[in-house]
């Protein structure tokens, strides 16, 4: 029986999979690093499945050489890859299994922003009958920033489902750009006429605060920004200023620099603004995606136990 420690939130998201995984004993543990490390030492487990928390030291001391840190999801900025590699720990993620869920979430946020669904619902519940005037998606221009798997799915739904024109921005040409009407390597060109801008780029040093005030000023005043990628790519203070001053019309965010959300500057709290939708990082939180992530994470661990390291979804070699 292979013992696997799973952080509590991830365990709950795919309870059926973890409880019934043949050949595995999956044990829930606190997501905080000290509690997670303590559970690993207590059980003697070599394998851990983790969420989005940042881990800096104890986890890598607790997992023995040859063990696995498996990210329940795709983004792995919470994993110290250098420390893991130095300790001989394999790190992997679950690419591809959440593409549909995140793409659908981005489209949902875009539609909600276009029709003011969140504001209308809140107003109606508070006893205010105030129908808002929205806009149609049909015929509008969507800029997709980052044309990887998720970005391409968003483009396909937007183009073939809503009849939108899609402009793609990426540093390299995607393998399949059939749903992208125009592709550019210049950000200003991509966003200058866009009604909606949806971001699908990773949070790495070169993209940190990518959405800054200068780039926000390149957008139309009527533009709506959607971010289901990573909070680190957005300068939240710059977004506050842009929304407050009317540089852009609105935003719909599912990810934040600090989660749960807390403002980077107490005087620039995004929650105080109209024209913004804020959801608690639910892009991949569908039953189907969570089950696929659990199965993929366990599959990576199973490969490790058989020495098939090269077949794992490794994030460090």
> In this predicted structure, what is the pLDDT of residue 317?
64
Question: Cα 268 vs. chain centroid, distance in angstroms?
Answer: 23
> In this predicted structure, what is the pLDDT of residue 176?
78
Confidence (pTM): 0.91
Please give the Cα distance from 135 to 220 (Å, whole number): 15
Question: Cα 140 vs. chain centroid, distance in angstroms?
Answer: 25
**CATH 3.40.50.720 domain locations along the chain:** 2-97+286-311, 99-278
* DSSP 8-state symbol, 314: B
CATH architecture of 99-278: 3-Layer(aba) Sandwich (3.40)
> In this predicted structure, what is the pLDDT of residue 278?
98
> In this predicted structure, what is the pLDDT of residue 171?
84
Query: Token digits for 115?
Result: 């029709």
Closest CA to 174 of 210, 194, 144: 144
Closest CA to 111 of 198, 239, 180: 198
Please give the Cα distance from 26 to 131 (Å, whole number): 49
Q: How far is CA 151 from CA 104, 106, 227, 292, in A?
A: 11, 10, 11, 20
Alpha helix stretches (DSSP H) within the chain: 8-13, 15-19, 33-43, 58-62, 81-86, 99-115, 117-125, 149-156, 162, 187-191, 213-216, 236-244, 287-305
> In this predicted structure, what is the pLDDT of residue 258?
94
Q: Which residues are identified as catalytic?
A: 230, 259, 281
The number of beta carbons lying within 10 Å of the beta carbon of residue 307 is: 9
3-state secondary structure of 69: strand
Query: Token digits for 263?
Result: 């403002």
In the chain, % helix, strand, coil (3-state, to 5) comes to 40, 15, 45
CB 313 within 8 A of CB 94: yes
Kindly state the helix (H) or strand (E) to which residue 5 belongs, with its residue range: strand 2-7
Kindly state the helix (H) or strand (E) to which residue 182 belongs, with its residue range: strand 182-184
Fold of 2-97+286-311: Rossmann fold (3.40.50)
Closest CA to 229 of 313, 113, 149, 288: 149
Per-residue pLDDT of the chain (317 residues; tens, 9 = 90+): 999 999 999 999 999 999 999 999 999 999 999 999 999 999 999 999 999 899 999 999 999 999 999 999 988 889 999 999 999 999 999 999 999 999 999 999 999 999 999 999 999 999 999 999 999 999 999 999 999 999 999 999 999 999 999 999 998 877 778 999 999 999 999 999 999 999 999 998 999 999 999 999 999 999 999 999 999 999 999 999 999 999 999 999 999 999 999 999 999 999 999 999 999 999 999 999 999 999 999 999 999 999 999 999 999 76
Question: How many residues are listed for the chain in this entry?
Answer: 317
């Amino acid at each position: 029986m292979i013992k696997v420690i799973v952080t509590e939130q991830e365990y709950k998201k795919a309870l059926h999979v973890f409880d019934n995984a043949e050949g595995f004993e999956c044990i829930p543990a606190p997501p905080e690093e000290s509690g997670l490390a303590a559970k690993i030492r207590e059980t003697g487990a070599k394998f851990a499945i983790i969420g989005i928390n940042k881990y800096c030291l104890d986890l890598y001391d607790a997992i023995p050489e040859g063990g696995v840190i498996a990210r329940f999801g795709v983004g792995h900025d919470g994993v110290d890859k250098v420390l893991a590699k130095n300790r001989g720990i394999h790190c992997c993620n679950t690419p591809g299994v959440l593409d549909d869920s995140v793409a659908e979430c981005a489209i949902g946020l875009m539609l909600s922003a276009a029709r003011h669904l969140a504001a209308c619902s809140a107003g109606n519940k508070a006893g205010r009958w105030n129908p808002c005037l929205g806009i149609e998606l049909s015929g509008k221009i969507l800029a997709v920033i980052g044309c990887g798997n998720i970005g391409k799915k968003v483009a396909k739904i937007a183009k073939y489902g809503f009849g939108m024109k899609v402009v793609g921005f990426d540093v390299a040409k995607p393998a399949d750009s059939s749903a992208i009407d125009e592709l550019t390597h210049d950000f200003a060109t991509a966003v200058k006429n866009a009604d909606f801008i949806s971001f699908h780029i990773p949070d790495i040093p070169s993209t940190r605060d990518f959405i800054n005030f200068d780039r926000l000023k390149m957008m139309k005043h009527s533009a709506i920004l959607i971010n289901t990628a990573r909070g680190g790519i957005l300068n939240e203070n710059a977004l506050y200023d842009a929304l407050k001053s009317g540089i852009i019309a609105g935003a719909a965010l599912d990810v934040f620099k600090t989660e749960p959300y807390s403002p980077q500057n107490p005087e620039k709290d995004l929650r105080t603004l109209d024209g913004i939708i804020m959801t608690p990082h639910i892009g991949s939180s569908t039953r189907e995606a969570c089950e696929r992530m659990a199965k993929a994470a366990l599959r990576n661990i199973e490969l490790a136990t058989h020495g098939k390291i090269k077949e794992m979804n490794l994030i460090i070699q």
